Structure 1
Amino acid sequence: MSITNEPSIMQFLAERVHEDQTFKNKLHQVIELSKADSQASQAASNAISILIQAGVHFNGADLQGVRVPKADLTGGQFDSAQFQGADLTGANLTMSWIWQADFSNAQMAEVQFGELPSLQESSPVKCCAYSSNEQKFAVGLWNGKIRLYDTITWKVRVLHGHRSAVSSISFSCTGNQLISGGDDSTVQIWDPQEGKVRVRRKVLLCKATCVAFSPKDQHVALATEQYSVGIWNVKSDKDFVLRGHTAPVTSVAWSPSGHQIASGSRDGTIRLWNSETWILSLVLNSIASPASGVCCIAYSPDGRRIVAGDDNGELKLWNSMANELEHSMKGHYSTVNGVTFSKDGQWIASCSYDKSVRLWDAKAHVGVSIMNGHLNPVYDVAFSPDDLQIVSCSSDRTVRRWDVSTKGASLASHIDPGEVSIVAYSLDGQYILSGYQRLRKWDALTGASTSLRLDLPITCMAFSPSGCQIATDSGDVTSNIWSRNIWKDNDIRLWHSQTGVAEDVLCGHTDRVTSLAYSPCGRWIASSSCDKTLRLWDLHNALQVLTLKGHIGEVNAVVFSPDGLQIASGGADGTIRLWQPDTGDCTVVLKGHSRGVTAVAYSSDNLQIVSSCKAGSIRLWQVESRTSSVLHGDDEGMIWSASFSPCCKWIAATFMFARQEEDDDYEALRLWKVDESGNWLSKTVPQGLFNFVSSVAWNPFFPNQFVTGFWDRSVSVWSLAEEQDDADVSLLW
């Protein structure tokens, strides 16, 4: 009997794997038994599904000849695994990592990979749309071209008309017309059959961010950056403007009946307009925070609900008849760029800057599948008219097609629901911590992991030198109850690293904690905060001993020198300050960055400091002379982190959206190595391996090993060697 379709049983058994080593070993034995005994195939399928659910890695594993038909291997780590001669009939490999895995002579009939063949484009893809009869599929490109596909033969016709990026496209309800809005401030209506422009109008002083036909094809609605919605009567060729928003309008959508039009804006509201009188009928206050805005909206097929995606990565489901928020759905870590309902109203698909596509149950308000594969931000998403496929387009120049029949296959989010935003090694190099919405502890050698069950979002953490304690911030939680304690989001929490039991709370900061560092002796913790201060804490009594003031603005980073005699901090004011930990005096102010400092790190010999900033620059400072050199100049990307390897020969830095121009490749991790003359040389890393790295940390014990945390929730350990101009990187697990 298969148990893969029993979520509660699978979750229970996956949790038991973490608690009972004997049970875990028996599951492995059952898988091994299936190689020789075909009668064990069902048990082996259940066993490997449970282990994958529990987060057990099979990178490099000898799985030759295993019999695991219909196993749920969703999200599994199988890089370099040996599957020769295995029976994988009907297995689900959706979202699995199978880089360099060997499937020679394996039985793979009906294996589900969750993705259909993708479309390769010549330019980043901004938008996509199906015609209602499913005969045509169109994509808008950054180079101003529209590519129109015949969905039966997938032959393509290129439409030329826009002089810059096509930001939005939409078919008329009959499918006989296609409208496009571009960054060249024009709106164009095309004949999809002839591939020619019927009407071209320059109706705006700024670009149209979204265009949509009314259900009767009589009107076109245009979202503009001028805080307004344009309405164009296609038949009479007259137009007028709906005003009321106080920020750029990002999206427009017609209700299925055509009696209402909705507009979403960066001002955080959704405005509903009567399409007969063009009078504002209702305002939905989409967000609580004025710092975020509505990025995309869509009506449900019955017109009763509106889903909106915002800058915070949340989806909000509204009652379109009243200012009533039905539910908020969290999953994306970054801006939601596109949302859409399936035609039957059962599902919602969303896409985001976090390069993922997610599928949600519109009635249960829960995520059921995460579709990874894009290397860059995903800008638009659409269901096929028969609801059997999802298409998504990205600045990685691809349009990917996903099989919706694999939805719900993975329950991995019940075990580890959050993306990995930070990683850290223990001082002895034996363990790795990763965290964002949940903290996990990994065996650095084998990749085996255990959840510490700290189910609160965190943005910074540190291992004590002894490895027995973990310090974390309180994330985005305003208040939470844990072991009868109540913490604020500006507290620091101390945990036992083996059990995850709360040990103490350090209270004092008046705003969010941004960085934490233990002193080399383990007695002190330094913390930085958005309250413009650093604070020093004595762990003998869990009391604050010093408040360090000097930065103008929030303090983003703090670190002890290897000898413990100095503290370095980086702030939003662009300065790095050096402090005496015994007196709290600021002894040196280092200036050179043009924008806020995001990271500071000492070399292990105490002679240098590397720092990074939001403008994309990296500077190398000599501690004694207080001089600096530029390792990397200002770029269009923001640098999250920069750090030395323990041998002081390498520097690693993680970039956010570096160089997103049309003809450039996205890089998320860069490496430098010092030569014999003391010059730091940039080393090329393999393309595609390190896209969307959120964090990197060096192994203190093996100086050429490092761990990366990715936004898709994966953690990987790598070995590094130099080979002329390139960095020879090999995956360990």
Structure 2
Amino acid sequence: MAVQPLFVGAVGLGMGLAVNAATGTSHWPGPLEWIRQHPWQAAGILVALSVGYRAVQLWRNRNGQVYELLPGIVPAAPAWTVERAETAAVVREVMRASKQGGAVGITTAVHGAGGFGKTTLARLVCTDRKVRRRFGDQVYWVTVGWGTRSRTEIAEVIVEVARLVAGDATRFDDPMRAGAHLGSLLGRARRPVLLVLDDVWEQSQLDPFLLGAPNCVRLVTTRVRNLLPSGTASVLVDRLTGPQAKAVLSTDLPGLPDDLIVRLVAACGSWALMLRLANRWIVGMDRTGVDTAKHSRMLLSLLEAGPTAVNRVGETAEIADPARRNAMVQASVQASLDLLPHGTADRFMELGAFAPDDPIPIPLLARLWQAAGLDEVATRQVCEDLERLALLTLDSSHGGAVLLHDVLHGYARAALGDAGRRAVSRRLVLAIEAGLPAIEPLRLSEPQPRVAWWRLDQAGDGYLLDHIVEHLQQAGDTEQAFAVAKDLRWIDVRARQRGPAAPMSDLTRIGTLEAAHRAAALERITHLLAPAEPADAVTDTLHSYLQPLPAWRDQADALAEQKCDRARLINAWPPPDLASTALVRVLTGHTRSVLALAISPDGTWLASGAADKTIRIWDPATGKSTAVLHGHTSYVLGVIIGRDGGILVTNGGHDRTVRVWDAATGKATAVLRGDGKIMAVALSPDGTWIATADENGTVRLWETTTGAATTVLEPEILIMSLAISTDGAWLAGTGDGGGLWIWDRSNPASAVTLDYAGPEHEVSTSSDGMWSATTTRSAFAYTTCVSHHVTGASATVMEDSVGDVSQCAISPDGAWIATASRSWTDFNVRIWDTALIAGKTASTAGSHGEGISAMAVSPDGTWLVTGHGDGTARIRDLTTGRIRTALGQHDRDIFHRAFTALAVSPDGAWIATLGGAGTVRVWNPTTGRATALDERARAVAFGPDGIWIAAADNEGPAQVWNRSTGAGIAILNVHDSSVAAVAVSPDGGRLVVAAYGETTWIWDLAAGKVSATLENRGQATAAVAVSPDSTWIATVGRTDRMIRIWNMSGHCVAAVRTDGELTSVAWGKDLFVGGAHGVYCYRFVPGRSDLPR
């Protein structure tokens, strides 16, 4: 560890000084004389300080404040590199930034030009002795490139950087969230970090990398000067100086005449790229034994007077002109290609058909060039020849690959032309298709892939997986490109290879409206497609959430009908947590839950406040965060924008302050300080006064400019939300007991009350003052209600199954509504199209009480019993969906859970319920009468004969009772931790006991011992169930929202991820799972390898 040598050295130094001082007699200079006179005290102080420092380091390690990053790998600078004055300037700025924070830019003096040596310069900086001493091996290189343009592609790059830096494989489809995550990893590093961002082209590529990590210096190379953040130290890289240019041109050419060097340098414009190409051309001629000077003059004539000449004789090339730069590249490249065998020039130009800034595998080139008579050996020879002339770079790893400088790639691409690129891509597609298996078409009316593109090797064919859709389009086969991009098998492979952002990028590339709709559907579930265990859970989750959608249904159903080697979970019902199609866009960037939002009067921007104590300004059209405001010391619970869009008012809640901001500058202009937590805030239409409600039940009116309280209202209720009418004449508020209150500002004693069932969280008023929107929480859906102030009529207009909708705001024209969730796992703002929201109905299997927390199915599969948060249990007919019987109430536990488990006897004559307070009751479903058995249990299950019941309590042991007498039969000491759930196999042979931790045990009742253990890899289990044939076990994850199927040997054979918290499971003909969003129902299909032989 880095502090270990310091600790040992300090102790050694202290002891050495002590011994030296104790045995010496000479006076020491200055304050050191005190050390000589008191050697052992001085040694003790030094050692104590060292031990204290070491203790602080250990404490920081234990609390996750520091992080051991993986060593970085930086590409070495080429051997021909020359020293440049700019190197020292960049090193100086990097060292300064390592102390003060910030970024450093390397850009070109010629706007938009490449090939000046920015990348080479950055490599030299990374190997500088001062830089290495400061940053150690925590120097990381990221090549962004022109080809990384879409949000999903940028996110993929950031995710890969996080993996290389910290071994963190967390997937993100949003670049800002990925960047924030990377920033948090870098910010925990033990020492400063240098992150090199090479070849950045756009602001959207750079912004995510700038988030967080004040200990990280970002070194950015770009040809776009105005891309760098304000205040960034920028070093311009211009033409090489005379001596530098001569050194590059003369590499490996010691005998070149000086006058010829001077003229060639001038003809190349002292442009590093051109000088390197010229040097390699001359060296290539020199190796053939010809007169070097003679052929150097030949190259000079091409540049000065040949058919592609761009300069007058003796004139220095004007490289600021793009046309002249292109002509120079053409002349130099053509001269180099003339040195190579016939046909090699064509092979070089064909590289322009490939994606820029991405290594091209040599085996892939061999398949393409096979039509030109080249085998793999010949292909590698061509690549080596081109590399010798500096026309490409060779990478020997992973079977070999080539990479073109973007200037040379641009030249080859332009020279090839549209028709040439189409022809090359067509040949490439045909060559690859020939090596892939044909597929049996699904019973679909739409076009399907010709071959199984998803059978490409993920390790060896990474380029093809990333770009085959692009090559199909470039080949003119757009129909086949779309057929591949929308195939669920392809999407599955791409999601596993690069994360869910990759198949979205493929669909977006198609450019049609249908492809955009499909990409949008995929985007709504990308957070569910993160890597899982087992890996095939991604496949089943993908199919589960796309199968209910009309565009995907036929394909998903056809694939479900196919026989499969592995076990699967297939929808029997649509998932209750499907995202609404009214969801237009998700704005991501906050690192904790979004608690407040507001829309600007013109609808062009919105502001959000979050539990991360920040306020963000957003462009809803692009999804980009344009500003972040800091100042609150607690969660931001409210945000209001003035009618003219000039001011912003925010509520800090627990910090007891309301802040007023200038929306243009982002500066706070006033701070209003209250006596308690601020529960609600409203701003008058003219922006001159503010209303607040605090936790003490007081409503105050304040002047915006002075911050003085002018009026105090004292209603008899605790106001949770406030809104002011458009004329400022009345004030509306919602209380914690439900309902909407409206006060006349001139007469606060009189109020109009509109009642609703359920507590309101937030209220907003329409621009005409005639209606309000309030958010209300119910059992599964969180709804927004619209209320008319004159008639009092209300109607539910939208439901969000994602989480507790606690905030809403209406656009000025009423065309869209923004909502935010109070869920501690949902950090997003959602924008809803009101035209699409209208008429949307509630989802499946709802609840008449509170959320379902426990569930069991009758033995014949005709009815379902559910336990609800209000303490009641209900028996529901599965045919009609109606409730047959309601059972009595259980008391809740400290977490307000009324039920934690339910079980039905094998004959359906009895129902066992386990209350949140630990009480086990056995009910007669007909009479509704109950018998209590135990007061401490946490899980319960019937034996197959209905005579005995198994339960377990917080102390660990599972117990078995006689149902009729209540007498104990057995105690099974399987573990020492708290029990979450128990289940008995229908054949009576096994008892499954799940702990609140990561382990579930299978107890063999006949043998009296554990026969297998289910390891859930750190994820707590909420409930368990055994299949009717006693062959399989189902578990539902408490924290990972996963439903898993296990065999009796403890191997997980299938899984699916859901979008909500899971609480219960029951297995009848189908598998039923209860959760915060409703009831999930799946059909479990064993794989061919699982079937009896």
What TM bracket, shorter-length normalisation?
A: 0.5 to 0.7
SS in 2 for 1:180: strand
Shift of 1:580: 0.5
Task: State the Cα deviation string for residues 283-309 of structure 1 (Å, max 9, x = none).
Answer: 848578xxx744223446565666654
- What are the within-5 Å matches in structure 2 for residues 482-497 of structure 1? none
Q: 2:786, 2:797 within 8 Å by CA — same for their partners in 1? A: no
Between the aligned partners of 2:813 and 2:968, the Cα distance in structure 1 is 65
Q: 1:464 aligns with which of 844, 858, 862?
A: 858
Quick check: 1:393 aligned with 2:813?
no
Residue aligning to 2:644: 174
Residue aligning to 1:297: 763
Quick check: 1:668 aligned with 2:1052?
no
Q: 1:216 aligns with which of 683, 686, 707?
A: 686
Shift of 1:178: 0.4
Task: State the Cα deviation string for residues 608-656 of structure 1 (Å, max 9, x = none).
Answer: 442567xx89875969789999989999x9x75344567677552243x
Between the aligned partners of 1:519 and 1:246, the Cα distance in structure 2 is 51
Q: 1:641 aligns with which of 996, 1005, 1023?
A: 1023
Percent identity reads 21
Shift of 1:462: 4.3
Residue aligning to 1:333: 780
Task: State the Cα deviation string for residues 53-97 of structure 1 (Å, max 9, x = none).
Answer: xxxxxxx9735279xxxxxxxxxxx99599999997999999995
Residue aligning to 1:7: none
SS in 2 for 1:282: strand
Between the aligned partners of 2:929 and 2:966, the Cα distance in structure 1 is 9
Q: 2:872, 2:890 within 8 Å by CA — same for their partners in 1? A: yes
Number of residue pairs the alignment of both structures matches: 525
Letter of the aligned partner of 2:726 in structure 1? P
Quick check: 1:690 aligned with 2:1062?
no
Q: 2:598, 2:608 within 8 Å by CA — same for their partners in 1? A: yes
Quick check: 1:121 aligned with 2:589?
yes
Quick check: 1:229 aligned with 2:699?
yes
Residue aligning to 1:582: 964
Between the aligned partners of 2:587 and 2:881, the Cα distance in structure 1 is 46
Between the aligned partners of 1:170 and 1:641, the Cα distance in structure 2 is 43
Decide whether aligned partners of structure 1 residues 518 and 154 sit closer, same or farther in structure 2, where only a CA change above 3 A counts: closer
Quick check: 1:402 aligned with 2:832?
yes
- What are the within-5 Å matches in structure 2 for residues 484-633 of structure 1? 516-527=902-913, 536=922, 542=926, 547-551=931-935, 558-569=940-951, 578-585=960-967, 599-602=981-984, 606-610=989-993
Q: 2:819, 2:830 within 8 Å by CA — same for their partners in 1? A: yes
Residue aligning to 1:143: 612
Shift of 1:180: 0.9
Between the aligned partners of 1:573 and 1:257, the Cα distance in structure 2 is 63
Residue aligning to 2:709: 239
Between the aligned partners of 1:598 and 1:97, the Cα distance in structure 2 is 28
Task: State the Cα deviation string for residues 473-514 of structure 1 (Å, max 9, x = none).
Answer: 69799xxxxxxxxxxx9687585x667899x86988799995
- As a proportion of its length, which structure holds more strand? 1
TM-score, length basis structure 1: 0.55
Q: 1:128, 1:393 within 8 Å by CA — same for their partners in 2? A: yes
Shift of 1:170: 0.2
Decide whether aligned partners of structure 1 residues 264 and 623 sit closer, same or farther in structure 2, where only a CA change above 3 A counts: farther
Shift of 1:711: 5.5
Q: Tell me how large the CA RMSD over aligned residues is.
A: 5.9
Task: State the Cα deviation string for residues 167-197 of structure 1 (Å, max 9, x = none).
Answer: 2100112221001112561321111112222
Task: State the Cα deviation string for residues 312-362 of structure 1 (Å, max 9, x = none).
Answer: x25xxxxxxxxxxxxxxxxx63666xx5759xx699xxxxxxxxxxxxxx9
Shift of 1:129: 0.9
SS in 2 for 1:166: coil
Q: 1:561, 1:606 within 8 Å by CA — same for their partners in 2? A: no
Between the aligned partners of 2:663 and 2:764, the Cα distance in structure 1 is 24
Decide whether aligned partners of structure 1 residues 715 and 382 sit closer, same or farther in structure 2, where only a CA change above 3 A counts: same
Between the aligned partners of 2:602 and 2:1001, the Cα distance in structure 1 is 59
Between the aligned partners of 1:544 and 1:191, the Cα distance in structure 2 is 63
Letter of the aligned partner of 1:190 in structure 2? W
For structure 2, the residue ranges without an aligned partner over 5 or more in a row are 1-441, 449-485, 492-506, 525-543, 555-579, 893-897, 1088-1093
Q: 1:255 aligns with which of 721, 725, 731?
A: 725
Shift of 1:213: 0.5
Structure with max Cα Rg: 2
Decide whether aligned partners of structure 1 residues 333 and 698 sit closer, same or farther in structure 2, where only a CA change above 3 A counts: closer
Letter of the aligned partner of 2:628 in structure 1? L
Q: 1:123, 1:143 within 8 Å by CA — same for their partners in 2? A: yes
Decide whether aligned partners of structure 1 residues 79 and 516 sit closer, same or farther in structure 2, where only a CA change above 3 A counts: farther
Q: 2:855, 2:1065 within 8 Å by CA — same for their partners in 1? A: no
Letter of the aligned partner of 1:255 in structure 2? S
Between the aligned partners of 2:588 and 2:836, the Cα distance in structure 1 is 23
Shift of 1:245: 6.3
Quick check: 1:132 aligned with 2:515?
no
Decide whether aligned partners of structure 1 residues 400 and 652 sit closer, same or farther in structure 2, where only a CA change above 3 A counts: same
Shift of 1:566: 1.7
Shift of 1:461: 5.8
Q: 1:144, 1:166 within 8 Å by CA — same for their partners in 2? A: yes
Q: 1:524, 1:536 within 8 Å by CA — same for their partners in 2? A: yes
Between the aligned partners of 2:699 and 2:955, the Cα distance in structure 1 is 39
SS in 1 for 2:832: strand
Task: State the Cα deviation string for residues 643-702 of structure 1 (Å, max 9, x = none).
Answer: 4567677552243xx5xxxxxxxx3236596997x8x99x9977xx4121546647568x
For structure 1, the residue ranges without an aligned partner over 5 or more in a row are 1-59, 67-77, 107-111, 315-331, 348-361, 421-434, 439-455, 478-488, 659-666, 723-733
Between the aligned partners of 1:574 and 1:282, the Cα distance in structure 2 is 56
Letter of the aligned partner of 1:98 in structure 2? L
SS in 2 for 1:380: strand
Residue aligning to 2:807: 380
Decide whether aligned partners of structure 1 residues 669 and 152 sit closer, same or farther in structure 2, where only a CA change above 3 A counts: closer
Shift of 1:560: 0.2
Between the aligned partners of 2:939 and 2:921, the Cα distance in structure 1 is 12
Moved more, 210-219 or 397-406: 397-406
Between the aligned partners of 1:654 and 1:282, the Cα distance in structure 2 is 48
Q: 1:473, 1:491 within 8 Å by CA — same for their partners in 2? A: yes
Q: 1:80, 1:101 within 8 Å by CA — same for their partners in 2? A: no
Between the aligned partners of 1:298 and 1:500, the Cα distance in structure 2 is 36
SS in 1 for 2:705: coil
Letter of the aligned partner of 2:683 in structure 1? F
Q: 1:166, 1:183 within 8 Å by CA — same for their partners in 2? A: yes
SS in 2 for 1:169: strand
Residue aligning to 1:200: 671
Letter of the aligned partner of 1:668 in structure 2? R
Q: 2:914, 2:939 within 8 Å by CA — same for their partners in 1? A: yes
Shift of 1:575: 10
Q: 1:506, 1:543 within 8 Å by CA — same for their partners in 2? A: no
TM-score, length basis structure 2: 0.39
Shift of 1:99: 6.5
Shift of 1:548: 2.8
Letter of the aligned partner of 1:275 in structure 2? R
Q: 1:569, 1:600 within 8 Å by CA — same for their partners in 2? A: yes
SS in 2 for 1:199: strand
- As a proportion of its length, which structure holds more helix? 2
Q: 1:214, 1:258 within 8 Å by CA — same for their partners in 2? A: yes
Decide whether aligned partners of structure 1 residues 139 and 498 sit closer, same or farther in structure 2, where only a CA change above 3 A counts: closer
Between the aligned partners of 1:493 and 1:151, the Cα distance in structure 2 is 46
Q: 2:1036, 2:1062 within 8 Å by CA — same for their partners in 1? A: no
